[in-house]
Amino acid sequence: MNATALPIFFAPLQGYTEAIYRNAHATVFGGVDTYYTPFVRLEKGNFRNKDLRDIDPAQNRVPHLVPQLIGAQKDKIEKILGQFIERNYKEADINMGCPFPLLAKRCNGSGILPFPEEVDKIMDVVRQHPEIRFSIKMRLGWEDPGECIRLLPILNELPLTHITLHPRLGKQQYKGETDLESFRAFAEDCRHPLIYNGDIKTLEDIEQIQNRLPSLAGIMIGRGLLANPALALEYKEGRVLSSEEMKEKLFTLHKLVFKDYDAQIQGGESQLLNKMKVFWEYLEPQIGHKAWKTIHKSTSLAKYQAAIGTI
């Protein structure tokens, strides 16, 4: 086992890390200390059924789950938090990092970072709910890495468990390089435990980040874990899985995910097929381009199963 291993947090990704996938991942691979739900939001004043289903404790079987919320107004955040409290959650993560323009232009996610006064308003929720342990996931800013620094007087005074920082700007989305110098500048004056998130794809990436940022309290991985579901396990055990181990675990993961989506989805074959294609979205490095392409070109479940058989 890796004696110096940091806690690993599985980042939430809309459409990918739903309860069914999280449960299967924890069962088959593990190595993750904390899983996060994709953010819950209000849409035209109402909740999406799939969001509420995803935070239902009866649907979740991972060792430690934290629900995430997103919103630009305090009253909306209160309403979402009410759903968490109703389900007996004692923790909540506030998303100030989502880079998608449709949400950001309404001051959601990283779109709120340029506005300290608005951040301060929504943070009243943290101050007024001492019974909930809050964390924040954020970026350096929307268009200026100084935006996160300007928020520190507000953030430092809050009773947060930690801050997760992705060292990119919101307007970059996932393009360009991560900015470790701006991460360090934030870390110097941040009073909370700090978790690194961004472009972690290999064991070497984790090792480099640990060496370059020795004061980290943990590492959050999203796309890297979807591309290599064994990454957290390999990090904790200090070894790379053999190709046979990886193949066996990957097929077991697929079997569990397929079985649960088949039971949940009532919309017919095409809906299940589309959902299962998403499962393979990031897995091309594991199965090869030819098999990956065949899966994504499948037009029926029979063709899909035949494509899986070629791996």
CA–CA dist 181, 78 (Å, integer): 35
What is the C-alpha to C-alpha distance for residues 120 and 95, in angstroms, rounded to an integer? 14
Query: What does the DSSP 8-state code read for residue 40?
Result: B
- Which residues, other chains included, contact 151 with Cβ-Cβ below 8 Å and sequence gap of 6+? 113, 116, 119
CA 238/CA 232 separation, integer angstroms:
10
pLDDT in tens, 2-30: 768 999 999 999 999 999 999 999 999 99
Q: What is the pLDDT of residue 2?
A: 77
| Contact in structure between 104 and 74 (CB atoms under 8 Å) | no
Give the per-residue pLDDT at 151: 98
pLDDT at 267: 76
Determine how β-strand 42-43 pairs with β-strand 46-47.
Answer: antiparallel
**Which tokens in the block code for residue 175?**
């393009």
Give the pLDDT score at 3. Answer: 65
pLDDT in tens, 180-191: 999 999 999 999
pLDDT tens-digit map of 205-220: 999 999 999 999 999 9
Among 112, 42, 113, residue whose Cα is nearest residue 82: 42
Residue 311 has pLDDT above 90, yes or no: no
* Mean pLDDT on 101-107: 94
Paired residues of 66 in beta bridges? 36
Residue 166, marked binder:
yes
Residue ranges of the chain that CATH labels 3.20.20.70 = 8-237
Whether 98 sits among the annotated catalytic residues: the reply is: yes
- Supply the CATH classification number for the domain 8-237: 3.20.20.70
Catalytic residue among 98, 107, 148, 190: 98
Structure tokens given for 34? 């904390």
Average pLDDT, the chain: 96
What element of type H or E holds 176?
Answer: none
Q: In the predicted model, is pLDDT for residue 229 greater than 70?
A: yes
Phi-psi region of 119 (alpha: psi -120 to 50; beta: other; left: phi over 0): alpha
What average pLDDT score do residues 155-170 get?
98
Place of tokens 């996932």: 174
137 is an annotated ligand-binding site residue: yes
Q: Which pLDDT band holds residue 43 (cuts at 50, 70, 90)? A: confident
Q: What is the predicted pLDDT for the residue at 266? A: 85
68 is in an annotated binding site: yes
Query: In whole angstroms, what is the distance from residue 176 CA to residue 73 CA?
Result: 30
